[in-house]
Amino acid sequence: MREDTASIQAADRRAVFRVAALWLAFLAPFFYLTYGTANWLASVRPGVPNLAFDWEAHIPFIAWTIIPYWSINAFYALSLFVNDRPEDVGRLARRYLAAQVVAVTCFVAFPLQAIFVRPETHGLPGFMFDVLGGFDKPFNQAPSLHIALLVIIWDHWRRRLGRTWRVIWHLWSLLIGLSVLTTWQHHVIDIPTGMLLGLFALWLFPAGRPSPLAGFRLTRDARARRLAVRYAGAAVLLLALTVAVTLGSGAGLLLLWPALALAIVAFGYAGADERVFMKGADGRIGFAGRWLLWPYRQGVRLNIRWWTRSLAPATEIAEGIFLGRMPVRRELAAYASVIDMTAELPGLPAPGLAWRAFPSLDLLPVPAARIREAASAVEAARGPGPVLICCALGFQRSAVVAACWLLRAGLATDAAAAVARIRDTGRPVHLPIEAHAAIERAAR
């Protein structure tokens, strides 16, 4: 048995090495070809602008930081070979490729240049700067591809290292990130835009789940299409504002963050569904989804605060069963279990608290099968203690689950009676009439 296991592991290692070598043989020349072409195109354009704050002139030039700056090249190649399966190699390579394609497209469409002239440098740092200058001209700036690749590589290694080595890796990654400034290779605004690109690549090819692009089909639901158009329109308006503000200040590029978040939400409503939020059944949201969609999530939290400002966080619809908005951490002590219907908000796992998530898009009908599954989870969770059924506001997604559970428990004769019982507790319920049919189908 041990010999069979060792043989399988050896075969896996050979397959990983072979796939990694093939990807590297493609990615390396692709990088130098496209990166160099973007540099050349910028060099022949008249008046290439720059985006730098006045205070950046006080950032010191530290010659030796070219060493951590250069080290990302080694980690770029090595990371392809440090994988358990060929599929993992492919995912990492696709992340690299996505970041490179988007960055180079930006470099060609909106070239920028660095304006600081480095002092003369000698020794090993001088040699490394000379080699770098042979192909890296002062144009390819925002988003920083160096930072985007750093985000991807940092995420790749942090999952594979023990505690001590992970701390060292975090510190070295921080040094690599700072080195783009202390080597005068980039301006400050290039860093957040590069981080955004790196997060996008992680989101596009997530670990342990299919890509949001997988199986995408344009929705036929008229309500979903309208919401997709509205979110896309808001993203376009923010993008236009980004351009307008950036003409006066590089800080305008920060508006790309909420613009991209809204575009991703629009993509979800257009047909990618709740997968765009990267939320698991335990309520946790993947690293990329957590940060990439952070601006949208803050808007959701403000919306919750406004609409529920005069309501109790939750109301008891039956003994031990509560319906309400998404709780805050201090409210969790009152419950033994939470049935969470949101896709956009992360769960709040705590010791002794069972958290079950059934991610569903806001303002859209919840499929009957998901309603039934969530209602069954409510019944299964009753024993240990109080159960909270929640969504963002507690008005729709969680309300259909609560109504379904009331029917299944024999506490209401039909959907209309279940909804009326919930309203009698003082909880507003905003359900279209077609939701009643879905509730009754799910209760069968």
User: pTM value?
Assistant: 0.91
Q: Is the pLDDT of residue 12 over 80?
A: no
Percent of the chain with pLDDT over 70: 96
Distance CA 412, CA 275 (A): 33
Element (H, E) at 304: helix 294-307
Per-residue confidence (pLDDT) for residue 10, from 0 to 100: 63
Q: Are 279 and 346 in contact (CB under 8 A)?
A: yes
Average pLDDT over residues 179-201: 93
Distance CA 325, CA 328 (A): 9
- Of 388, 311, 306, which Cα lies nearest the Cα of 342? 388
- Of 357, 345, 428, which Cα lies nearest the Cα of 388? 357
Distance CA 427, CA 430 (A): 10
DSSP assignment of 141-199 equals -SS-HHHHHHHHHHHHHHTTS-HHHHHHHHHHHHHHHHHHHHTTSS-TTHHHHHHHHHH
pLDDT in tens, 394-428: 999 999 999 999 999 999 999 999 999 999 999 99
Q: What are the angstrom distances between the C-alpha of 413 and each of 170, 197, 231, 250, 404? A: 58, 52, 39, 61, 11
Element (H, E) at 434: helix 433-443
SS3 per-residue string spanning 365-389:
CCCHHHHHHHHHHHHHHCCCCCEEE
Residues carrying an active site annotation: 391
Confidence of residue 284 (pLDDT cuts 50, 70, 90): very high
Looking at the DSSP bridge assignments, the partners of residue 389 are: 323, 339
Distance CA 221, CA 364 (A): 9
Distance CA 82, CA 85 (A): 9
Per-residue confidence (pLDDT) for residue 3, from 0 to 100: 52
| Dihedrals phi, psi of 386, to nearest 5 degrees | -55, 145
List of residues 6+ apart from 301 with CB closer than 8 A:
345
Per-residue confidence (pLDDT) for residue 298, from 0 to 100: 97
pLDDT in tens, 85-143: 999 999 999 999 999 999 999 999 888 887 777 888 888 888 888 787 767 777 777 89
User: Regarding predicted confidence, which is higher, 4 or 90?
Assistant: 90
pLDDT in tens, 350-400: 888 999 999 999 999 999 999 999 999 999 999 889 999 999 999 999 999
Q: Are 277 and 360 in contact (CB under 8 A)?
A: no
What is the helix, strand, coil percentage profile of the chain, to 5?
60, 5, 30
For the chain, domains (ranges, CATH) are 12-204 (no CATH), 222-300 (no CATH), 313-443 (3.90.190.10)
Average pLDDT over residues 235-251: 81
Residue type, 264: I
Residue type, 214: A
Confidence of residue 261 (pLDDT cuts 50, 70, 90): very high
Per-residue confidence (pLDDT) for residue 215, from 0 to 100: 81
Per-residue confidence (pLDDT) for residue 195, from 0 to 100: 96
Distance CA 114, CA 56 (A): 11
Q: Retrieve residue 116's tokens.
A: 């600081």
SS3 per-residue string spanning 245-263:
HHCCCHHHHHHHHHHHHHH
Q: Are 389 and 341 in contact (CB under 8 A)?
A: yes
Q: What are the angstrom distances between the C-alpha of 257 and each of 197, 200, 204, 295, 430? A: 10, 10, 16, 7, 32
Per-residue confidence (pLDDT) for residue 111, from 0 to 100: 85
* Average model confidence (pLDDT) across the chain: 91
Confidence of residue 251 (pLDDT cuts 50, 70, 90): confident
Distance CA 10, CA 17 (A): 11
Residue that has been written with the tokens 């010191």 in this structure: 60
Per-residue confidence (pLDDT) for residue 7, from 0 to 100: 55
Distance CA 322, CA 428 (A): 13
**3-state secondary structure at position 343:** coil
Q: Is the pLDDT of residue 248 over 80?
A: no
Helix axes 66-81, 123-133, angle to 10 degrees: 60
Average pLDDT over residues 54-79: 92
pLDDT in tens, 203-234: 999 998 889 988 899 999 999 999 999 999 99
Per DSSP, 64 falls in state G
Confidence of residue 247 (pLDDT cuts 50, 70, 90): low
